Amino acid sequence: MFVNSLLFLYLFLPVTLFFVYISSSKLKNIFLLLASFIFYAWGGVSNVFVLVASTLVNWFIGLSLGKARTARLRKTWLVVGILMNILPLLLFKYTGFFRDNLNVLISLFGLSPLWIRTYALPLGISFYSFKAITYLVSVHRRETPVQRNYADLALYISFFPSLLAGPIDRYRNFLPQLHDRVPTVEQFASGIRRFAIGLGKKVLIANSLAVVSDELFNGPVSNLSTPLAWLGVICYALQIYYDFSGYTDMAIGVGRMFGFELMENFNFPYISKSIKEFWQRWHISLSTWLRDYLFLPLAYSTSRKLKKERYFSIRVDQIIYMIATSITFLVCGFWHGAAWNFIVWGLIHGFLLILEQLGLGRLLKKLYKPLRHLYALFFLLISWVFFRTVSLPDAFHYTGILFGIGGKPVDWLMFLEYFNTGLILTIIFAILGSTKIFSIVAGWFRKRTNDPLMALRIASSNIYELISIFLVILILAASSLFMVAGTNNAFIYFKF
């Protein structure tokens, strides 16, 4: 089920809220788990078996980890657990990729291609597998106790707001909320606000931008001129941000309605002044997951193997950073999709991070701030080309056109044809919304609600609250109108 569907908003959500809130505290989580399975089943009933199997396997491995007496046995169970989560991911997501590439290699030797069956990718498997690994690592590191209650663990892994596209919440954050959460009116209302913002981001902005970016990316690349190629990638950069952060907002908002505080996933990534800063602001739950569960262990194990202080006159800490970053971003790219263009996308980010670490970062800090923004945005846009195009040759071709190589001659009238009132308003709003301007305006209003003058304080707080409610209802109504009109489509991040 999609959270930006009429069925979710007008049936699933009110029914689930009703049953969870009228049930006793013991049954609340059971209802939520049941709702999560139904929510997931709506995207393919067969996929629920994969999800249930995953929760059962992780529950069992967690129990075994808890019972293991020796460090070695605990480590063995952890490795088994990680493999049990990675293997289904490999099977469902990467079989086709490995088969196709193997067949290319085989064909070089004149052999006939292998036939290996591929399976439909269960929605959200990349997200819930990573959540499950988080639980196992957390138990292994003794950060949290073993979860003996299957329903509680299953709810953590399959909690429906974050099931399909994250955030990849940490078990240690979720655990205290499982039984001790006390939803408040303010929390619920803030959940509604957050949900409305997310729905508006997805339905009103991302989908509108998708019309242009899809047209420009799905058509023949050779048909693009340089300005059109830039328009396409700018629209896509905004689309993916509003699409994905919109989903996160909805997940956090719905979570709050049930009394959960999920992890934040975005913090205005496009105001970054470096790639390093971008990864501190973009898909935070994934970047910190990769940092905690891949980068740091890799860096630690590499550091134990490298004994000298310098290799080829490069400091050992820099070598460790280079190795760990390269591998981490290779995995990051591959996690996003089983295709070479995603791998290259990850490697571009990894390469830029290494450059920044090796000295570019220090150089950037000396630059005028807008230039640093430009640097970050420029490379982010280039990397999005690799993320969006369907093949590596297309990505290189598209990138070439961005710099005037291999495209069609510039036709400004054709370029302007794309700019109807809808697109102009959407782009302006999307650019402003990706900065902190709206937060600053809201903050200014909020400050007035603390004015020392009582009359002013009362007036401004009432105005602030009324405007806030009006906007929330307006966004919900406008989004519903767009959804009824059938303009809703699947989230970009579901396919990962």
Partner 1 sequence: MKRTHHIYSIILMALFFIMISFVMINDLFHFYSPPQALVMEKRNLSRKPIFDINKLDFYPAAYNRYYDDRFPFRTKLISYYAGVVSLKFFHRSPYPDKVELGREGWMYFVSEGALYKGKFTLSNDQIGQIVTEIHNRAVYYHDKGIKFYMAIPPVKQEIYPEYLPRNYYKLPGKNTTEKILDLIRKDTLVNLVDMKSALLKAKKFGRLYYKTDNHWNALGGYYGYRAVMDRMKQDFPSLHPLETSDFTMQTKVVKGKNMAENMNVTDYVQEEDLIPHLKLERAKEGKRKGYKPRPTFPYPQEFEIVREVKNSGIPIVVIIRDSYFYGMMPYIIENFRKTVILYDTFVYGIFDDAIRIEKPDLVFYMIYEPHVPNLIGIDLW
We find the least distance from the C-beta atom of residue 185 to partner 1, in angstroms, to be 5
Q: Active-site residue among 140, 336, 349, 397? A: 336
- Interaction of residue 15 with partner 1, rule CB under 8 A: yes
Among 151, 189, 316, 442, binds partner 1 (CB under 8 A): 189
Is the bond into 88 cis (omega within 30 degrees of 0)? no
We find the least distance from the C-beta atom of residue 215 to partner 1, in angstroms, to be 8
CA-wise closest residue to 211 among 487, 494, 493, 492 = 487
The residue range among 4-12, 64-72, 141-149, 366-374 that interacts with partner 1, by the rule CB under 8 A, is 4-12
Token pair recorded at residue 267? 């913090």
- Interaction of residue 193 with partner 1, rule CB under 8 A: yes
Among 27, 296, 441, 481, binds partner 1 (CB under 8 A): 481
- CA 70 from chain centre, in angstroms, equals 37
We find the least distance from the C-beta atom of residue 375 to partner 1, in angstroms, to be 31
Binding mask 364-383 for partner 1 (x = CB under 8 A): --------------------
Among 73, 456, 466, 490, binds partner 1 (CB under 8 A): 466
- Interaction of residue 443 with partner 1, rule CB under 8 A: no
Question: What is the C-alpha R_g of the chain?
Answer: 24
- CA dist 253 and 371 (Å) reads 35
- Interaction of residue 390 with partner 1, rule CB under 8 A: no
Nearer to partner 1, 79 or 414 (CB): 414
- Interaction of residue 452 with partner 1, rule CB under 8 A: no
Among 45, 79, 87, 106, binds partner 1 (CB under 8 A): 45
- CA dist 399 and 396 (Å) reads 5
We find the least distance from the C-beta atom of residue 491 to partner 1, in angstroms, to be 16
- Interaction of residue 49 with partner 1, rule CB under 8 A: no
We find the least distance from the C-beta atom of residue 391 to partner 1, in angstroms, to be 17
Among 94, 361, 468, 494, binds partner 1 (CB under 8 A): 468
Judged by CB under 8 A, the number of residues near partner 1 is 62
C-alpha angle 302/317/311, rounded to 5°?
85
Among 76, 392, 476, 494, binds partner 1 (CB under 8 A): 476
The residue range among 277-285, 326-334, 366-374, 408-416 that interacts with partner 1, by the rule CB under 8 A, is 408-416
- Interaction of residue 486 with partner 1, rule CB under 8 A: yes
Nearer to partner 1, 424 or 431 (CB): 424
- Interaction of residue 484 with partner 1, rule CB under 8 A: yes
- Interaction of residue 458 with partner 1, rule CB under 8 A: yes
- Interaction of residue 300 with partner 1, rule CB under 8 A: no
- Interaction of residue 87 with partner 1, rule CB under 8 A: no
- Interaction of residue 459 with partner 1, rule CB under 8 A: no
Q: What are phi and psi of 64, to 5 degrees?
A: -65, -40
The residue range among 291-299, 337-345, 407-415, 437-445 that interacts with partner 1, by the rule CB under 8 A, is 407-415
CA atoms within 13 Å, Cβ hemisphere of 408: 14
- Interaction of residue 447 with partner 1, rule CB under 8 A: no
The residue range among 136-144, 232-240, 313-321, 471-479 that interacts with partner 1, by the rule CB under 8 A, is 471-479
Token pair recorded at residue 473? 């209802």
- Interaction of residue 56 with partner 1, rule CB under 8 A: no
Q: Reply yes or no on whether 336 is catalytic.
A: yes
Token pair recorded at residue 316? 């050992």
Catalytic residue numbers read 336
Residue ranges binding partner 1 (CB under 8 A): 1, 5-7, 9-11, 13-15, 41-46, 185-186, 188-190, 192-193, 211, 215, 219-220, 223, 228, 411, 413-418, 420-423, 425, 449-450, 457-458, 461-462, 465-466, 468-469, 472-473, 476-477, 480-482, 484-487
